[in-house]
Structure 1
Amino acid sequence: MIVRARAPLRLGLAGGGTDVSPYCDLHGGFVMNATIDKYAHAMVDDAPDGTVAFEVLDHDERIAFAPGACEQQDGKLALLVGAYLRISRDFLGGRQPAIRLRAHSDAPPGSGLGSSSTMMVALVTALADYFSLGLGEYEIAHLAYEIERNDLALTGGKQDQYAAAFGGFNFMEFHREDRVIVNPLRMKPWVLAELEASLVLYFTGVSRSSASIIDEQIRNVAGGESDSIAAMHRLKEEATAMKEALLRGDLRGFVRTLQAGWEAKKRMAASITNPHIDAIERVATANGALATKVSGAGGGGFMMFFCAPHDRVRLCRALDGQGGTRMDFHFTNEGAIAWRPT
């Protein structure tokens, strides 16, 4: 038997960072995000050699254990092994059955598209189907979050897991005691079409570790750093404003909130932007970009630009000279899914 699964990557549109503790525990966090047709992929099948085997296909890394001898790993295999060990502990009574778990992603780690957390959701979705666990979206997202943050001690927020599990355009609320509410938006088709015609997604060529940036943000909130906390309050406001703009089809409002959110985000931690990002933003603005946003924690990864559709070709040509790579995409309403090919 083989089970395949995939989970969609997401664009962080507004409010990113307010889903990180302790801010969301103290003040509540609001995030507006949307999933795109780029995915993290996972596959589970019966191990042909009777081992417990793990493979990260896009990095050509592999490790195998005898059943019952599986131990947590570091590096790129950590997510796969961590997901398997948690499923074994919580649902299989500690039993470690012989399986082969493989994974790969359409985006590199550190991309700002939630790639690591999306991969964890894909892994949990695949394992839950393989072992017939019957988990729903909230359960999968929460379990993925706990594996990353508690079992693997990886720093980060909560939005990525829920975006990957649910899919679509969502306004998310994050409260104390891990209470999360996902509010799907009913988007007008013409608004989706206009967004796809106007947004340019650009990889800076720099993959960064979000942990150091988020750690700085956490220190600022825990230490009561007033400018950082005020910026996060503003990000919450912008997430609400963006939700309302999207539901009304107010694209001018969308542009205003996208840029305002980026300006507020840069005040959360010094490492969110850098001279390389600032230079790309200046080039984009000079060539038709009406708003800029770095997706994810910042420091590198993917940047988003909003332009009038008639300026798209000019903007893309200018970005092509900056050393990075553009990525074409479409929005998707489908969250994580698993299937068993015949």
Structure 2
Amino acid sequence: MIVRARAPLRLGLAGGGTDVSPYCDLHGGSVMNVTIDKYAYATIDASPDGLVHFLAQDAGAGERIAPGEAMAERTDAAGPLQLAKGVYRRIVAEHLGGRAPAIRVRTHSDAPPGSGLGSSSTMVVALVTAFAEYFGLALGEYEVAHLAYAVERNDLGLAGGKQDQYAAAFGGFNFMEFYAGDRVIVNPLRIKDWIHAELESSLVLCFTGVSRASARIIDEQSRNISEGDAASLDAMHRLKDEAGRMKEALLRGDFARLAEVMQAGWLAKKQSAASISNPRIEEIETVAGAHGARATKVSGAGGGGFMIFLCDPADRIGLVRALAAAGGTPYDAHFTLQGATAWKVP
């Protein structure tokens, strides 16, 4: 039996960063996001030789180890295989009674690490979903997302927030609330068809050409909050408020307000940590503004990866050409309303 799973990547529309501790523990966080038709994939089947196989196909990395060794390895070891190994250990320990199976786990993603689309967390959700299908585990969306969060943040010690795991598990347009004690509330939004179509036509996604390590940016944000930096804390409060305003603008189809909220959120985010923007990002933002972009933001923690622009659909082609001429790589992306899913192949 072969089991495959996929989980969608997400665009953070507003509130990103307020889902990260200690801010969400102290003040509560709010995030507005939507998933797109770019995915992380995981495949599990029986081992051909009694060993555990881990293969990160897009990174060209692979390893074969005995089941006992797979459980005994350090959980904080870095590298392209760490996510699959972390999920394997957690599933075996929590759901298989410590019985380590000989299986083959293969992964790949439509987006590179450091893209700002939540690729690492989405991969963990795809892995958890595949394991749940392969071993017949009854895990709902909340359980999948929480387990994925626990693997990344607790087991592997990777810095980050909570929105990516829940976006990948649930899919669609979601307004999310984050509180102390890992309490998360996901509020799916029913967006009218014309609003869905207009927003999809208005958004331009562009890769800056620079992948970034989000951990340094997140550490800076967290340190600013812990140390009581007034400017950073005020910026985070504004980011949280913008998520609520973004939700209202989407539900009403108020695109002028939506652009205003997105731009205000980007300005606030830049004030939460110095490393969020850089000369390359500012250069691309200037080019976009001169060619019809009504609002700009960087997806994810910042520092690079993908940028999101909101424009009049009539200006889209001109904006795409200008971004490409500036050295960016524009991407087409369409919204998906389905979260992580798995299926069996006989």
TM-score for both structures, normalised by structure 2 = 0.98
> How is 1:103-182 mapped onto 2 (pairs within 5 angstroms)?
103-182=107-186
CA contact (8 A) 1:291 1:307 kept: yes
Paired residue secondary structure (1:174): strand
Shift of 1:67: 1.9
Match of 1:11 in 2: 11
Aligned to 1:246: 250
Match of 2:207 among 198, 203, 210: 203
Tell me by how many angstroms 1:255 deviates: 0.6
| Match of residue 197, structure 2, among 171, 193, 200 | 193
Choose from 259, 263, 284 the match for 1:259: 263
Distance 1:149 1:303 in 2: 25
Q: Is the 8 A contact 1:201 1:305 kept in 2?
A: yes
> 2:101 is paired with a residue of what secondary structure?
coil
1:1-342 matched pairs, under 5 angstroms: 1-70=1-70, 71-72=73-74, 73-342=77-346
Look up the SS of the partner of 1:48 in the other structure: coil
Cα distance in structure 2, aligned partners of 1:322 and 1:116: 28
Specify the SS of the correspondent of 2:159: coil
Instruction: Could you tell me which runs of 5 or more consecutive residues in structure 2 were left unpaired when the two chains were aligned.
Output: none
Take 1:164 and 1:43, find their aligned partners in 2: how far apart are those partners? 17
Aligned residues: 342
Deviation (angstroms), 1:39 = 0.2
Looking at structure 1, the residues matched to 287 and 330 of structure 2 have their Cα atoms a distance apart, in angstroms, of: 15
Deviation at 1:66, TM superposition (A): 1.2
**Cα distance, 1:109 vs structure 2:** 0.2
Counterpart residue identity of residue 59, structure 1: A
SS at match of 1:59: coil
1:322 aligned partner, one-letter code: A
**Cα displacement string for residues 213-243 of structure 1 (whole angstroms, at most 9, x for unaligned residues):** 0000000000000000000000111000000
In structure 2, distance between residues paired with 1:66 and 1:3 = 21
Give the deviation of 1:203 after TM superposition: 0.3
Letter in 2 for 1:60: G
C-alpha deviation, 1:74, in angstroms = 2.0
Question: 1: distance between equivalents of 2:327 and 2:282?
Answer: 14
User: 2 CA distance for matches of 1:177 and 1:74?
Assistant: 27
The residue type paired with residue 22 of structure 2 is P
How far off is 1:152 after superposition? 0.1
Paired with 1:153 and 1:300, the residues of 2 have a C-alpha distance of: 22
Q: Deviations over 1:78-107 (max 9, x none)?
A: 001000001011111211110000100000
CA distance in 2: counterparts of 1:15 and 1:112, whole angstroms: 14
Aligned equivalents of 2:27, 2:220: Cα separation in 1: 18
Secondary structure of the corresponding residue to residue 181 of structure 2: coil
Equivalent residue of 1:340, what SS? strand
Measured against aligned partners, the alpha-carbon deviations of 1:291-311 in whole angstroms (never above 9, x if no partner) come to: 001000000000000111111
Whole-Å separation in 2 of the counterparts to 1:95 and 1:233: 46
Counterpart of 2:176 in structure 1: which amino acid?
A: M
- Quote the Cα distance in structure 1 between the aligned partners of 2:204 and 2:130: 31
Task: Tell me the TM-score normalised to structure 1 length.
Answer: 0.99
For structure 1, the 5+ residue unaligned runs are none
DSSP 3-state at the match of 1:139: helix
For residue 324 of structure 1, report the CA deviation from its aligned partner.
Answer: 2.2
